[in-house]
Structure 1
C-alpha cells in the first residue's frame, strides 16, 4: 500500500487485482475504490482489505466467501456485509476469517466441510472476545495475547501450549508459527526444514526457532518461513524457486539472513499450487518485504508477481517498480 491506497500485481484470472479487469499485471496496478486502507491480504485467487473498520474483498468468491452464496467473481472491491469494527482479516481462497467487534468469524471450506455464512445469525468462534489476529489456511487466532487454534466451524478453540504474550501468528496447511515475547516459535510439518530448528523432524507443539531475537513479523507458506528479527529479514525451509532470497535454490533448515535488506518492517511469503502437480515441492513460491520503506520481492515470477516488469524468477530481493 502507498499512503492508504492498495496496489496489486501478478495473476488476475479472477479479478483478484481489483482493477476491474482480468488482465495479469507485471507492475503494481492501483486497486479501485479504496484510498484509506489499513491492511491488505491475499489468497490464491482473491484479495481482501480493511478500510474504515470495514472488510472489502475481490476476486473469486468460491464457497460464499464474500456474500451468502458462492462462485461469483468480483473484479473490484466489494464490501463483506454485516460486519462491524473489523480489525483483522485473512483469506486463502477457500476460507475467510475476520476479527469483528472483538470476536472471530470464519466461513468457507473448513475442515473438509463447506460452511456458508448466515448473515442473519452469524455465530462467532466460541470463547474468543478480544481477538487481534486471525488466520484462515489453518484456523487460529490471538485473543488477549494468547494463541488459539480450532478445527471446523463448530470446533472449540484450544490454547496453543506453552505460548504467552503472543503478538503475531501465521498458519499454512502444514506449518504454524507465532511470536511470543519477541521470539519465534514454529510447529507442524518439517519436511523442508521449515521449522528452522536445524532438523527435518516434525514437531507437535511450539518449538523455538534458534538464532532470532526481537522478532516483529513472521510469515509461513506450505514449506518455507520468513521472519523479521532486529530489523533484518531471515528465511528458511524450501528454496526451490529462490524464495529464501539468498541467491541460491538450496533448502535451509535454520534461519538464513536475506542479504541486502535493512530496516525491514514486514515480510510475507506464500506458495500456490502448480497446475497438474500435487507435490508441495512443485509449488510456485514468492516472498516480499518492506525495507527502508521500499518494497522488494523474490522467488517465482511466472505471472509477474514480483512486480519488476518481467516474468523472470529472482533468487535475490528485487525492488518492485513504482506504479
Structure 2
C-alpha cells in the first residue's frame, strides 16, 4: 500500500473523510470541515452559485458573513449527503444546509416541530446528528434518535388511496413509528426507505432491527412480496431474534444492499452482503437477472473478508473490504454505465456477480488502501490511501469523474485531488485554539503564483478538451474495428516506451497476438471497408460516365 500521502501529511484540508455521489455530481468532505463538489452544475447542485459544470473538485465557499453558525463562527461541516439533483451538508452545531433542485435554504430542526411537552420532557436541545438523501427526498436523524424526512417521501398513511404515490413536504416531518426506539442508520432509494433501529429504547451496539417501507413494486423492501407499505415493517431476516447483525445499509433506485455479520460464528467474523429488489441488470449480485423479494446473499464474494463500505447506484452496487479490495456488480460490467455508453463485442454485458475493480481493469494492480465507496447514477468514486487519494470510474460526462475529462472511464482513473490551487498556500495551525491560518512571507509572490496557476488551469482545461475529443475519436474507431472501447493497454509497448512507432512491425505483432475470433472480426471489418470503397468508386465512376454523356449530348445539340 502506498502511504506516502498519508504518512507525511498532517494537513486535514487534503484528507477526504467522506464522499457522496448523485445523478451526475459528487461531494467530498475534508477533515477540516470543508465541502468540495464537481460534476454537473444544473439546478445549482454543486453549491458554487452557478449552474456550470466543474471538471475538477472545487471548494464550496462558506467563508462570507452570510454563512455563519448560530454563534457567529465559521461553518464546519461533519457530514454530507447527495440526492439525485440536490445536496445536503451537516455542521458540527447540528444545522443542515441544502442546495440544488428546489431552493437553497437553511434547515434547522427545532421546537416548531415538537409540542412543548415533548421538548420539556426530553430536556435535551434538539439537533441533527446524521443526514441522508436519495432520489428527491432527504432524511435526518436527530440526537434523540428520531427520524425526519422531507421532499418527495412515502406517505405515512394510506388515507384511502388505491395506489402508492409519493407526497411532497417542504419542511421536515417526523416518522412517528419509531417512537421509543433509536434510529441509528437510514438509506433511501427513489421511493423507498430502509432504517436500522434499536430493538430497545437505546442502541447498545448490536441490537439493530431492519425496517423498510415505501414503494415495493420490485420487492425492494425485502418483505417477500411486491405490496407497498405506508408504515415501517420489519425485514424478518434481520429481526430482533436474528443471528445476523446488520451494520450498514444502502439503497439504489429500486434495490437494497445490507452488510451484516453472523453472531453465531465464534471463530471468525463472517461478513456478508445481502441484496433484494430489482435485479434486471445484475445489481443484486446473485448470478441472475431475476428480482428478489427476500434478502439473499451476494454470490462470489470471499468468505474470509470483512466488508466495511457498501453503496448502490441506479443499476449497480459496490463494496469495499478492510483488506483493501473493491468489488462491483450490475449494469455494464458493474461500472453502472447506462446503455448509451455500453461495451460491444465479447466484453459486452452486465456483471451478474461481483467483479474485482483494479486500476487497469480485471488484470491490473490494486488501488492503494480503499476505505469508502460511493455510487452515483452511472459512476463510482472511491476514497483511498487513508483519505488522501480519490479514484473514479464510469460515465464521465459533465466532469463527474473529477479528472478533467468528460469521457467515460472503464477502469479507475485518479481524481485531481487535492485541487492544484490548494498547494500554493502556506498553511499553519494555531496550536492554542486549533484554528488554521493561511499566511505567506510574500503576499505579492503568492498572488503572482495564483495568477499563473489560473492561466495554467485554463490552458489545461483547453488541452483536456482537445484530449477528450481525440480519445473519443480513438475509442469510436477502435471499437468499430475490435468491438470494445479503447484502453491504455491497447497502446503498443514500443510507442509507450520510446515514442516511436513501426506500423508494419506492430501490425504483424498484433496479428500474431489476436485469437481466431478477433481475427475473424478484423477480416469482416476489412471486407466491409473494402466493399464500401469499391462501391463508392463504382458509383463515382458511373457519375463520371453519366456526366460525360450529358456533356457530349449538350455539345452535339449545340
Same structural fold, with TM-score higher than 0.5 when normalized by the shorter chain: yes
Looking at structure 2, the residues matched to 159 and 228 of structure 1 have their Cα atoms a distance apart, in angstroms, of 27
**Alignment-derived partner of residue 311 in structure 1:** 406
TM-superposed CA distance for 1:304, in Å, is: 0.3
**Alignment-derived partner of residue 100 in structure 2:** 59
Contact 2:46/2:87, CA 8 A, preserved across alignment: yes
What's the C-alpha RMSD, in Å, of the aligned pairs?
Answer: 2.4
Relative to the length of structure 2, the TM-score reads 0.49
In structure 2, the CA distance between the partners of 1:249 and 1:303, relative to structure 1 (3 Å rule), is: farther
Structure 2 unmatched runs, 5+: 1-28, 63-73, 111-125, 155-164, 199-207, 216-228, 239-243, 262-270, 338-342, 359-365, 420-558
User: Larger % of helix: which?
Assistant: 2
Contact 1:186/1:209, CA 8 A, preserved across alignment: yes
* Residue 382 of structure 2 is aligned to residue 302 of structure 1: no
Looking at structure 2, the residues matched to 30 and 93 of structure 1 have their Cα atoms a distance apart, in angstroms, of 24
* Residue 141 of structure 2 is aligned to residue 99 of structure 1: yes
**Alignment-derived partner of residue 220 in structure 1:** 312
- SS of corresponding position for 1:58: strand
TM-superposed CA distance for 1:209, in Å, is: 1.2
TM-superposed CA distance for 1:242, in Å, is: 3.9
* Residue 367 of structure 2 is aligned to residue 261 of structure 1: yes
TM-superposed CA distance for 1:93, in Å, is: 4.7
Looking at structure 2, the residues matched to 242 and 183 of structure 1 have their Cα atoms a distance apart, in angstroms, of 21
1:109-120 to 2 correspondences below 5 Å? 109-111=152-154, 112-117=165-170
In structure 2, the CA distance between the partners of 1:8 and 1:223, relative to structure 1 (3 Å rule), is: same
* Residue 112 of structure 2 is aligned to residue 80 of structure 1: no
TM-superposed CA distance for 1:139, in Å, is: 1.1
TM-superposed CA distance for 1:241, in Å, is: 8.9
Looking at structure 2, the residues matched to 179 and 305 of structure 1 have their Cα atoms a distance apart, in angstroms, of 27
In structure 2, the CA distance between the partners of 1:256 and 1:180, relative to structure 1 (3 Å rule), is: same
* Residue 185 of structure 2 is aligned to residue 133 of structure 1: yes
Contact 2:328/2:334, CA 8 A, preserved across alignment: no
Structure 1 unmatched runs, 5+: 62-71, 272-284
- SS of corresponding position for 2:368: coil
Contact 1:226/1:233, CA 8 A, preserved across alignment: yes
Which of 254, 258, 276 aligns to 1:174? It is 254
Which of 230, 233, 237 aligns to 1:158? It is 233
TM-superposed CA distance for 1:240, in Å, is: 7.0
In structure 2, the CA distance between the partners of 1:22 and 1:184, relative to structure 1 (3 Å rule), is: same
In structure 2, the CA distance between the partners of 1:93 and 1:184, relative to structure 1 (3 Å rule), is: closer
* Residue 61 of structure 2 is aligned to residue 32 of structure 1: yes
Relative to the length of structure 1, the TM-score reads 0.83
In structure 2, the CA distance between the partners of 1:196 and 1:15, relative to structure 1 (3 Å rule), is: same
Contact 1:232/1:262, CA 8 A, preserved across alignment: no
* Residue 294 of structure 2 is aligned to residue 205 of structure 1: yes
Looking at structure 2, the residues matched to 262 and 255 of structure 1 have their Cα atoms a distance apart, in angstroms, of 19
Contact 1:26/1:305, CA 8 A, preserved across alignment: yes
Higher relative CO (CA 8 A, sep ≥ 6), structure 1 or 2? 1
Which of 350, 363, 370 aligns to 1:251? It is 350
In structure 2, the CA distance between the partners of 1:125 and 1:301, relative to structure 1 (3 Å rule), is: farther
TM-superposed CA distance for 1:127, in Å, is: 1.9
Contact 2:315/2:336, CA 8 A, preserved across alignment: no
- SS of corresponding position for 2:42: coil
**Alignment-derived partner of residue 329 in structure 2:** 236
- SS of corresponding position for 2:280: coil
**Alignment-derived partner of residue 281 in structure 1:** none
Worse-matched range after superposition: 17-26 or 109-118: 109-118
Q: CA offsets per residue over residues 229-268 of structure 1, 9 Å max, x none?
A: 2321100010279448xx9654211111101313211001
Moved over 3 A (4+): 240-244, 247-250
Q: How many residues align?
A: 292
Looking at structure 2, the residues matched to 48 and 184 of structure 1 have their Cα atoms a distance apart, in angstroms, of 27
User: Larger % of strand: which?
Assistant: 1
Contact 2:281/2:331, CA 8 A, preserved across alignment: yes
- SS of corresponding position for 1:21: coil
In structure 2, the CA distance between the partners of 1:132 and 1:241, relative to structure 1 (3 Å rule), is: closer
Q: CA offsets per residue over residues 26-74 of structure 1, 9 Å max, x none?
A: 000111227532221222211111111322211112xxxxxxxxxx3x2
